[in-house]
Chain A
Amino acid sequence: MALLKVTDLQVYYGVIQAIKGISFEVNAGEVIALIGANGAGKTTILHAITGLVPVKSGSIEFEVPKTGMNDKDIVTETVNLRKTPAHKIVSLGMAHVPEGRRIFSQLTVLENLKMGAYTRNDKEEMEQTLKKVYKRFPRLEERKNQVAGTLSGGEQQMLAMGRALMSHPRIILMDEPSMGLSPILVEEIFDIIKEISKSGTTVLLVEQNAKKALSIANRAYVLETGNIVLEGDAKELMNDESVKKAYLGE
């Protein structure tokens, strides 16, 4: 069963329909890329999933482990995220690295990371996770007491990712993590995404950089003005003539 299943999603901004009834799914362990031109609706989809914009119709189903069960048998239940208030979604195991990073610029790096663990009450576990995040992003540890607004763009992206990881997500949604970064940093960020995936976290990746996104994804969806026009295996899409022409600049 899919970890995240979006069915016939429609989103409006006022009278303008931004998402015109799309369906897709993300299985546990996958890296799924969502690619498309500016204004295609990628960010809107992620915002709809995590409750930042209201959904007109459709369903967003998320598999959540059932609490209170014994550990041996893994029992899950399906939660409709449309009926879940935005602030309750992260504790279900879904983190969102939003477009433009949206770190808390007046808070310190450490305070930002702690905000990422806001819903987690076990202090010891939080410290453990913090250590892991620092290990992945040594730069953040060096700057932990620095006000986040003074970080460089690349560092801010790392902070946004670290902050999301602080919540122990089972799935992480990333909105253009490579935006505005130098080629070396883009490489670095994509390596980190690969690592995150390897460590068992499912990834839904929105990217302008279609080439890089397809190179690390298992499957991908191509979005055009609110519709999914193409979907399939990432490697196959990379060789698709229309994708090559429109998104890979070949």
Chain B
Amino acid sequence: MKLVEYIIGQLINGLNAGSIYALIALGYSMVYGIAKMINFAHGDIIMVGSYALYVFIVLMKMPVIVAILLTIGFCAILGITIERIAYKPLRKAPPLAVLITAIGVSFFLQNASLLIFKANPIPFGTIIKVDAVNIGNISISGLTIVTLVVTFICMAILTLFINKTKAGSAMRAVSEDKGAAQLMGINVNRTISLTFAIGSALAAIAGILFLSQYPSLKPTMGALPGIKAFVAAVLGGIGNVPGAMLGGMLLGIIENTAKAYISTEVSDAIVFGVLILVLLLKPSGLLGKKRIEKV
């Protein structure tokens, strides 16, 4: 009995970490789907969101809920702005130019926060104060419950949006064929902006959850979760929304299992090992479809 409880506990821990990866991975995947680019600055949105939350709550003394909403809004606008300034002029440029630009944006964001907030980590008390829940002998922390519930809600809303609304269909149409989408009257620029806004808003939410678990701010804090979420997106099949969700969750579980049973030091290596293995067996990722070739 003890063993089963232990395994369930570890699974929940894995889903907890995986939720954050999944929320970030969604942004990578959606942006890739529509703009056919890897937005390497995406992880840094988590960092910007965290600092924004800190500014709103600690420096400006705003109520938590207001601060959270402002943080999400701020990141959404930042995402749109980055696309407009840095990526839009490069729509027809070779992929390598876009990739380097994205890395440049990432450095820019990190250095900007270094300039403003300095390199010393800033401690930040958790804003999520929910009691732990005991189910049998398993105790789930309040933070974990909030993380899982928030992630579930975000995914449900996003799935409904993409599959059931006009704007969501337009987004899928644009990701498939921008020219044909324009012939339908879809404003491609606006659709791309919307995608960056949604991806960045989800990254902001992930950032808030991440900050609650690792309550310390530093300019490079977005890099590692960012790169792992990217792995998750590729694992699930980049460009594929359910794939990003699955990839994120799987990555969290694998990483957590590796940490629990093997060693914390090599858990990252194992994560990347799994990625390589999956890509060898299925290059398009777990849920990635091979593109239907047009005749």
Q: Do B182 and A100 have beta carbons less than 8 Å apart?
A: no
When chains A and B are docked, how far (Å) is the Cα of A106 from the Cα of B180?
A: 13
Interface-forming stretch among A90-98, A205-213, A236-244? A90-98
**Chain B residues within 8 Å of A52, by CB:** 179, 182-183
Asked if residues A115 and B184 are in contact (CB atoms below 8 Å), the reply is: yes
Residues of chain B contacted by A96 (CB below 8 angstroms):
183
B interface residues, tally (CB under 8 Å): 20
Q: Per-residue 0/1 for A100-123: is the Cβ within 8 Å of any B Cβ (1 yes, 0 no)? A: 101111110001001110110000
Distance A95 CA – B295 CA, assembled complex (angstroms): 22
Using known A-B contacts A100-B294, A115-B170, determine if residue A105 contacts B185 with beta carbons closer than 8 Å. no
Q: Which residues of B contact A163 (CB under 8 A)?
A: 184
User: Within 8 Å CB of B295, what residues of A?
Assistant: 100, 153, 180
Interface residues of B, dominant DSSP:
helix
Indicate which residue in B169, B177, B180, B187 contacts A111 across the interface (CB closer than 8 Å).
B169
A156 closest partner in B (C-beta):
B295
Task: Evaluate contact between B183 and A104: CB separation under 8 angstroms.
Answer: no
User: With A104-B180, A106-B176 in contact, do A87 and B186 touch (Cβ < 8 Å)?
Assistant: yes
| Residue contact A104 to B176, C-beta cutoff 8 Å | yes
Known contacts A87-B188, A90-B185, A115-B184: does B172 contact A104 (CB below 8 Å)?
Answer: yes
Other-chain residue from A102, A111, A114, A167 in contact with B179 (beta carbon distance below 8 A)? A102
* Cβ of B18 to closest chain A Cβ, rounded Å: 26
Q: Counting CB contacts under 8 A, is A201 at the interface?
A: no
Among B169, B180, B187, max chain A CB count under 10 A is at B180
Whether B182 lies near A87 (C-beta < 8 A) is yes
Flag whether B166 is at the interface (Cβ < 8 A): yes
- Does B173 lie at the interface of the complex (its beta carbon under 8 Å from any beta carbon of A)? yes
Q: Are A88 and B292 in contact (CB under 8 A)?
A: no
B182 A86 Cβ-Cβ under 8 A: yes
Contact with A along B255-274 (1 / 0, CB 8 A): 00000000000000000000
Provide the residues of chain A in CB contact with B172, threshold 8 Å.
104, 106-107, 111
A107 near B179 with CB under 8 A, answer: no
Asked if A29 CB lies within 8 Å of chain B CBs, one says no
Number of chain A residues close to chain B: CB under 8 A: 31
Q: List 20 A-B contacts (CB under 8 A).
A: A50-B182, A85-B187, A86-B179, A86-B182, A87-B181, A87-B182, A87-B188, A89-B185, A90-B185, A98-B179, A98-B180, A103-B180, A104-B172, A104-B177, A105-B294, A107-B172, A107-B173, A115-B173, A167-B184, A180-B295
Residue of B nearest to A52 (CB): B179
List A contacts of B179 (CB < 8 A).
Answer: 52, 86, 98, 102
Task: Return the contact of B185 from the options A91, A100, A106, A153 (Cβ within 8 A).
Answer: A91
A116 and B176 form a contact (CB under 8 A): no
Most-contacted residue by chain B among A95, A96, A104 (CB, 10 A): A104
Q: Is the CB of B183 within 8 A of A105?
A: no
Check if B166 sits within 8 Å of A118, measured CB to CB: yes
| Cross-chain contact A88 with B176 (CB below 8 angstroms) | no
The distance from the CB of A59 to the nearest CB of chain B, in whole angstroms, is 21
Q: Kindly list 13 other residue pairs between chains A and B, CB separation below 8 angstroms, not including A100-B294, A104-B172, A114-B169.
A: A86-B183, A89-B185, A90-B183, A90-B184, A95-B183, A96-B183, A104-B180, A106-B292, A107-B169, A115-B169, A115-B173, A116-B184, A118-B185
A58 at the interface (CB under 8 A from B): no
